[in-house]
Structures are given as C-alpha cells and as structure tokens.
Amino acid sequence: MGTEQSDALARTTRVNLLFDFYESLLTEKQRTILTFYYHDDFSLGEIASEFGISRQAVYDNIKRAEGALESYEDKLLLLEKHERLMKVAELLERGVEEIVMNDSDRSKLMAAIERLKAAEGTAREGGEDSWQHLKA
C-alpha cells in the first residue's frame, strides 16, 4: 500500500472515530454528509446530487465538519483518553496471560477487563448508566 493510500486510510479511520465520539455535536447536515461520505462511501457527486448542491459545496461541508470534529477533540480529548484506556486494557490482558494462576482467577480478571472495555464503549455512546454493569 502506497503512502498516499495509507494516509487516506488513517485519515478515514480517525474521522470515523472522532465521528463516534462527537456526532451529536455536529449539525444534522454535517452528520448526514459525513455518514454518506465516510460510512456509505458515496462520491462527492452522489452527495451533491442528493442535496442539490455543487461538488465543491459538498467538499467544503466535509472539510468544515472534519475541522469541527478536530476542534472538539482538541478541547475534550475523548478519543485520546479512549485510546490510552484501550492500551492499558491490552497491557492488562497480556499481563494476566503471563501470570501463573489458576484458570478460575484468570477468567475472573479477564472478565473484569472485558467489563472495563464494554463500559468505555457504552460511555462513548453517552449512556447515563454506562458504569452500572461494572458492579457485576
């Protein structure tokens, strides 16, 4: 894969992650255009046709929405915190696998790590009681 393709894939992945965290802060039009472009793989021309606007207007809307997502991340750092938490969870999983212990204890620790990951996913979606299942 070429550097340009790799950069485009990394950019798409980042926008999709930011969209997961900050979707509700975008306007309806921004959400729809980004969904068409990044999730549904519509071309600029297809989106332009759908909205009755020019391809340039679609491009400008995408860039403004991306800028808004980056601005929210600069201020709130939700994606950065999520990535750090997932790295810690991975380290915990590897550490648990290396520790000599009985299968029951290992299973309990792995289940706790999975609940931590699940809670992070639920918190990203904005659930009020997203931490309740940690008590299980």
Closest C-alpha among 48, 52, 47, 45 to residue 36: 47
* Every domain of the chain and the residues it spans: 3-76, 79-135
Confidence of residue 136 (pLDDT cuts 50, 70, 90): very low
Model confidence pLDDT, tens digit, residues 64-112: 999 999 999 999 999 999 999 999 888 888 888 788 677 888 888 888 8
* pTM for the full predicted model: 0.73
Task: State the Cα–Cα distance between residues 66 and 108, nearest whole angstrom.
Answer: 41
Task: State the Cα–Cα distance between residues 42 and 106, nearest whole angstrom.
Answer: 46
Amino acid at 133: H
DSSP designation for 98: H
Q: Is the pLDDT of residue 63 over 60?
A: yes
Total length of the chain: 136
Class of domain 3-76: mainly alpha
pLDDT given for residue 126 in this prediction: 52
